[in-house]
């Protein structure tokens, strides 16, 4: 089975059809719902959450591995509290809860619920326990210039092509941004187009989101 078959199956599920719960301002998929939905599509799915690491300061990292057929993905996650701060000397319950949270994120690497993490990984990217250095202020006109303009629509049937062009333009333009702050601002400036993609063309939206998250990894923290 090709990985693309798994990916296309999961990313084609619109966000409004996912079993979402609320955590503060963010939506999330519970581990039970995510696992149930994933196995209902691919019953051969297996997972392992045994791996963990403890650091000198008492904080911990947990890991999850998910396999569907011959395809395996691994995800890691610090053991955190409800404010996303690392927990020092966490309890067994806190470790267990974060392992399940890590499992959901690992399943998302196959495409399931990936759009749910758009806000968490891009808009709330820097909500960490250590204060970040203030970003240098950019001229207000710069953001306007960087905004990817949406092609004018003359016919309803051209809507999908227009959104695809916007997405491709954003994928190319994002590579001009060399910091996480700059990338996050670029995402925010284009939020109107992004919201329209998510509503009207979920496949275009999910592929764009995946490209942003992949590029974000190359920028570091």
**Is 135 a member of any domain?**
no
Picking from 123, 148, 178, the residue at the C-terminal end of a domain is 123
The answer to pTM > 0.75 is: no
Residues 81 and 189 occupy one common structural domain: no
Q: Rounded to an integer, what distance in angstroms lies between the CA atom of residue 5 and that of residue 10?
A: 9
- Give the domain extent around 174: 140-219
For 26-68, what is each residue's pLDDT tens digit?
Answer: 666 778 888 888 999 999 999 999 999 999 999 999 999 999 9
Residues 27 and 96 occupy one common structural domain: yes
Domain count, the chain: 2
Residues 40 and 101 occupy one common structural domain: yes
Whether 144 shows a pLDDT value over 80: the answer reads no
Residues 147 and 113 occupy one common structural domain: no
Q: What is the CATH number of the domain that holds 43?
A: 3.30.160
Picking from 60, 91, 123, the residue at the C-terminal end of a domain is 123
Q: Rounded to an integer, what distance in angstroms lies between the CA atom of residue 120 and that of residue 122?
A: 6
Residues 156 and 197 occupy one common structural domain: yes
Half-sphere exposure of residue 71: CA atoms within 13 angstroms, side-chain side:
16
SS3 187: helix
- Please work out, in degrees rounded to the nearest 5, the angle formed at the alpha carbon of residue 43 by the alpha carbons of 14 and 93: 80
Structure tokens belonging to residue 2: 């090709």
Three-class SS of 89-155: CCCHHHHHHHHHHHHHHHHHCCCCCHHHHHHHHHHCCCCCCCCCCCCCCCCHHHHHHHCCCCCCCCC
Residues 145 and 56 occupy one common structural domain: no
Residues 104 and 33 occupy one common structural domain: yes
Residues 94 and 28 occupy one common structural domain: yes
Residues 104 and 146 occupy one common structural domain: no
For 84-102, what is each residue's pLDDT tens digit?
Answer: 789 999 999 999 999 998 9
Residues 9 and 96 occupy one common structural domain: yes
**Is 66 a member of any domain?**
yes
Residues 94 and 184 occupy one common structural domain: no
Picking from 90, 123, 156, the residue at the C-terminal end of a domain is 123
**Is 194 a member of any domain?**
yes
Residues 118 and 190 occupy one common structural domain: no
The residue among 58, 154, 71, 157 whose CA lies nearest residue 110 is: 71
If phi > 0 it is left, if psi is from -120 to 50 it is alpha, else beta; for residue 69 that is left
* pLDDT range class, residue 3, cuts 50, 70, 90: very high
Q: Rounded to an integer, what distance in angstroms lies between the CA atom of residue 13 and that of residue 69?
A: 21
**Is 128 a member of any domain?**
no
Structure tokens belonging to residue 126: 């820097």
Q: What is the mean pLDDT of residues 153-176?
A: 70
**Is 134 a member of any domain?**
no
Q: What is the mean pLDDT of residues 168-189?
A: 81
């Amino acid at each position: 089975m090709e990985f693309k078959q798994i990916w296309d199956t999961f990313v084609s599920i619109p966000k409004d059809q996912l079993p979402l719960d609320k955590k503060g301002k963010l939506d999330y998929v519970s581990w039970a719902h995510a696992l149930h939905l994933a196995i209902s599509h691919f019953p051969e799915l297996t997972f392992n959450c045994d791996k963990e690491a403890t650091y000198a300061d008492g904080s911990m990292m947990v890991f999850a591995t998910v396999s569907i057929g011959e395809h395996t993905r691994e995800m890691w996650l610090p053991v955190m509290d409800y404010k996303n701060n690392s927990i020092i000397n966490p309890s067994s319950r806190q470790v267990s809860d974060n392992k399940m949270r890590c499992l959901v994120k690992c399943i998302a690497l196959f495409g399931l619920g990936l759009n749910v993490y758009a806000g968490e990984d891009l808009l709330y990217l820097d909500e960490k326990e250590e204060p970040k250095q203030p970003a240098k202020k950019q001229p207000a006109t710069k953001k306007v210039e960087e905004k990817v303009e949406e092609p004018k629509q003359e016919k309803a049937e051209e809507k999908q092509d227009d959104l695809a062009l916007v997405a491709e333009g954003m994928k190319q333009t994002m590579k001009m941004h060399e910091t996480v702050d700059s990338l996050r601002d670029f995402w925010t400036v284009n939020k109107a187009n992004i919201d329209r993609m998510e509503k009207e063309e979920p496949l275009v939206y999910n592929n764009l989101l995946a490209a942003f998250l992949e590029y974000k990894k190359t920028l570091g923290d």
